[in-house]
Amino acid sequence: MDSIYGDLKPVVVSLLFPPPCGEGWGGGEIFMTHYSGRYSGWVEVVCGPMFSGKTEELIRRLRLVQIAKQRIQIFKPLIDNRYHDTCISSHNDQKFQCTPISDAKQIIDEINDTTRVVGIDEAQFFSDELVDVCEKLANRGIRVIASGLDQDYLGKPFGPMPKLLAIAESVLKLKAVCMVCGESATKTQRLTADTDQVVVGSGECYEARCRACFDPDLTLELSKPAVPVSKKVKTEAFMPR
């Protein structure tokens, strides 16, 4: 009898609660369910440079979750008020309502019992506490989708992202288009001489670059006559160096 129940249980449970299978709901991958009758959550990370479509991809996955009628909560760091205070927003103006928070631990306080999926945008701006928060949520059975910059303007790992990538069940690393040569861009070029790791801005301060065109110290720019980087890049965009 034990073995029969052992076989039947997952089937019965899956009829009551559809399995958290990423394939149908925008994860792009099959995820495991637990045959003990408990369902596990997991962590998905979407990363890449600025303009690579991280927020677009997060929104795409969340829309599919909405279609599946699962409860979602979305968070972003309070610091990211570039476009809209209470929305995550992509560069091509797709939006999703969210809760801005100043500290990753607030996510735990804000979570409702019925929430099945948690989206987090601009994850790089949170502290390392975000990693524990994501683990806790996933251990509670929640699907966590976090998107953020993997590297800062110097090409160094950004905030909690390296740890988040390490503990994630699924990782998608996106590329943008290099604004100098048109190749695949994996880096975020800062166009100003600010040296703080966090300078919130968009196209006026940053652009996507490939490894060959990436100039983190602005040495190529500074060795040339006084032409503003942004102007130079705009006029020479897609011309081989």
Task: Determine the Cα–Cα distance for residues 78 and 155; give it in Å rounded to an integer.
Answer: 24
Active site residue 207: no
Q: Among 44, 57, 122, 207, which one carries the catalytic annotation?
A: 122
What is the torsion angle, in degrees rounded to the nearest 10, for the CA atoms of residue 77, residue 81, residue 86 and residue 87?
A: -90
The SS3 call for residue 234 is helix
Alpha-carbon separation of residue 123 from 44, 68, 168 (angstroms)? 12, 25, 13
Strand 176-177 to 99-101 pairing: unpaired
Name the one range near Zn ion by CB under 5 A: 159-167, 181-189, 198-206, 233-241: 181-189
91 binds, among Mg ion, ligand ADP, Zn ion, none (CB under 5 to 8 A by kind): ligand ADP
Q: Taking CB under 5 A as the rule, which mask of x and - marks residues 182-221 in contact with Zn ion?
A: -x--------------------------x--x--------
Task: Determine the Cα–Cα distance for residues 72 and 27; give it in Å rounded to an integer.
Answer: 14
180 binds, among Mg ion, ligand ADP, Zn ion, none (CB under 5 to 8 A by kind): Zn ion
Task: Determine the Cα–Cα distance for residues 147 and 149; give it in Å rounded to an integer.
Answer: 7
Q: Does 55 bind Mg ion (CB under 5 A)?
A: yes
Q: Does 151 bind ligand ADP (CB under 6 A)?
A: no
Residue from the set 176, 213, 229, 233 that interacts with ligand ADP by CB under 6 A? 176
Q: Does 124 bind Mg ion (CB under 5 A)?
A: no
Residue from the set 26, 53, 119, 159 that interacts with ligand ADP by CB under 6 A? 53
Q: Does 146 bind ligand ADP (CB under 6 A)?
A: no
Residue with the shortest CB distance to Mg ion: 55
Tell me the HSE value of 63 on the side-chain side, using a 13 A CA sphere: 10
How far is Cα of residue 232 from the mean position of the Cα atoms in its chain?
30
Residues that bind ligand ADP (CB under 6 A): 48, 50-56, 90-92, 176-177, 179, 208
Residues known to be catalytic: 122
